[in-house]
Structure 1
Amino acid sequence: MAPRLSLANPLVTADQLETTPSGRDGVDPALEQQLRCTGCDLIQAAGILLGLPQVAMATAQVLVQRFYYVSSFTKFALRDTIMGALFLACKIEESPRKVKDIINVFDYVIKKKQDLPIIPLESFSPLFYDMKNGLTVAELQILKRLAFNVQVQLPYALLVNYLQCLGLTQHPRIPQMSWNYLNDGLRTNIYVSYQPPIIACAALFLAARQCQVKLPDQPPWWTVFDSDLRDLVNIAGHILSLYHTQPPPDIPLTLPELEEYQSEILKAHPPGAI
């Protein structure tokens, strides 16, 4: 029998979620989550300045999440990976951008996040060449380590369909709130843990709860879209958790910065200290 073509997203296993390559290399789970969140924030900021469609930015963020479940932050610098992921996503979503433009925009958003002086990056400076090399290598590593499986199915179109089915397209808050939850969820692991229909249902579920809008329950509306209530609640919890903590501005973006950052943490909290 010929193999069936599947457009489903590849998902990580429970073991991969529990024990990541970075965790095995000594990166604290809280720091790893902050690194993922920061990387996705920077991609979103850079994508907006580059005038990219949301699908391109979202694809890049999902690729970064996938990449760091098969690779370690201690071996692949976050700065390089997010540039390489966005460059690759631009090609996947047929919205190509020049390497020079991507580098300059990321240099700007990184300096702004770290509250550094915004000095234009010289095209022939050592930093420019370092970032260019990092971007090029990162794109190849993403392709290699993901086995060229860079297909990303996103839940945006599904959300629009679900809103139409439930008669919510004209609601003053739910459509935009649901869309925002889908965007915010990119900073969590939900896009590598659940398929798009469930993520779309979860965003709608959370928005309806926040707006105190009762949706059909005879039968429960989510069952019509092949979703499970436990999954919706779990995804909603992951999204809401983002709003309680924000990554610090000094999150390390390069390998030397990460090594120094972890060294400072170790000095402040040595093993066995009370």
Structure 2
Amino acid sequence: MALKHLSNALATPDQLSNSSSSLDGVPSDLETSIRCAGAQLTQAAGVLLHLSQDVIAQAIVIFTRFWLGADGGSLRIYSVKDVSAAALYLTAKLSFQPTSPRSVLNVYTFLLSKDASPLWFVRQGGSPSTPPEPETYILSEGGYQAARQVLLQIETVILRTLGFDTHVALPHTIALTYLQTLGSSNPAVAQRVLQHLNAALLSPQLLYVTHQPNALAVAAIYLASREEGAKLVDSDWWEVFDVDREELGFLVVGMKSMEGFMRAELNTWNEKSIPMVPDQVDAEIERRRMMEDGE
């Protein structure tokens, strides 16, 4: 039973290669960009709601799982912003840090405001240089009631889609325990480990749903110790933690690639917003079709 709480149900190869969005004609690069933006939106909302990083990370994993496989949600049916909000609300409710629907929806209204949002993929240039008008990011009472209904509906959809399995084991605490076991007391290494684990939540390879927490922890330690020049034991220490060299190599490459991936995303979307709702997804697909056809 204890081991179960340290592991996760992983995505199958079929789920990874046949998402509901891809079956609905969403190009894989567009799906990756939207999913990554949704994870960043969840992270930002969690910070503004003063939730712990553990709760935020669990919400991002649940958000990511929702889109997996032919039975998952499609970006042409469900708004990534609504699924992000519902995943965060649900995860907080199941934790020791529950937050109200009103608080969640107020934060999302602010983060998705074209005039006020500090997020680069919502508002080009990030935070505005002058304070925006409050009405551009404050939810009216009528707007709140409608949004609350959507929030609770999507929460139910997420639960049904995941078969009510909301268990998420995270690698963060495991990694710090492993560092102690390895005799490392370097705070810079520990900080880099946590940075890599948080960045991996946005991975285009979906590392959190394809690898167990112990493997993610080992890869982050290996990479962070190399970057900080910290020497660990001479032997193949990762094998002690049940990780083989091939898996370690894949995860290290995946984590190292995050900086380049995010830079490429910024370059790709530097002049337009990433679609957050199905109508915008449809419009982007149509825009690409017209460009291919030379219209």
Per the normalisation by structure 2, the TM-score is: 0.84
Aligned match of 1:209: 226
Q: Distance in 2 between matches of 1:81 and 1:241?
A: 26
How far apart, CA to CA, are the structure 1 residues paired with 2:139 and 2:14?
44
CA distance in 2, matches of 1:45, 1:83: 11
Map Cα deviations across residues 86-145 of structure 1 (whole Å, 9 max, x no partner).
00000122211110110110111222122285623233244x344323211111011001
Aligned AA for 1:234? F
1:157 aligns with 2:173: yes
Q: Equivalents in 2 of 1:155, 1:145: separation in Å?
A: 24
- 4, 19, 27: which is aligned to 1:6? 4
Number of matched pairs? 266
184-193 or 209-218, larger mean C-alpha shift: 209-218
In 2, Cα distance between equivalents of 1:108 and 1:49: 10
Paired residues of 2:106 and 2:139 also in contact (CA < 8 A): no
Verify the 8 A CA contact 1:182 1:203 in the aligned structure 2: yes
8 Å Cα contact 1:55/1:93 also seen in 2: no
Q: Which residue of 1 aligns with 2:141?
A: 124
Q: What pairs with 1:1-274 in structure 2 (closer than 5 Å)? A: 6-7=4-5, 8-69=7-68, 70-111=72-113, 112=117, 113=119, 114-115=122-123, 117=132, 119-126=136-143, 128-169=144-185, 171-188=186-203, 189-218=206-235, 220-244=236-260, 245-246=264-265, 248=269, 250-270=273-293
**Offset, 1:24:** 1.2
Cα 1:259/1:133, change in 2 over 3 Å:
farther
Normalised to the residue count of structure 1, the TM-score between the two structures is 0.90
Output the CA distance in 1 between the equivalents of 2:65 and 2:183: 34
Identity over the aligned pairs, expressed in percent? 31
SS in 1 for 2:90: helix
Inter-partner Cα distance in structure 2 for 1:32 and 1:130? 27
> Which runs of 5 or more residues in structure 2 are unaligned?
none
Distance 2:254 2:63 in 1: 18
**1:187-242: CA deviation from partner (whole Å, max 9, x where unpaired):** 12111001111111111111122223332232x01011111121122122222322
Shift in Å at residue 17 of structure 1? 1.4
CA drift of 1:4 comes to 10
Structure 1 portions without partners, runs of 5+: none
Q: CA deviation at 1:180?
A: 0.6
Residue type at the aligned position of 1:17: L
Indicate conservation of the 8 Å contact 2:90/2:155, yes or no: yes
The one-letter amino acid of 1:145's match is T
- Do the aligned residues in 2 keep the contact of 1:222 with 1:228 (CA within 8 Å)? yes
How well do the aligned residues superpose, as a CA RMSD in angstroms?
2.0
Post-superposition Cα deviations, 1:168-189, rounded to whole Å, max 9, x if no partner, equal: 22x1421100001111111121
Question: What amino acid maps onto 2:4 in structure 1?
Answer: S
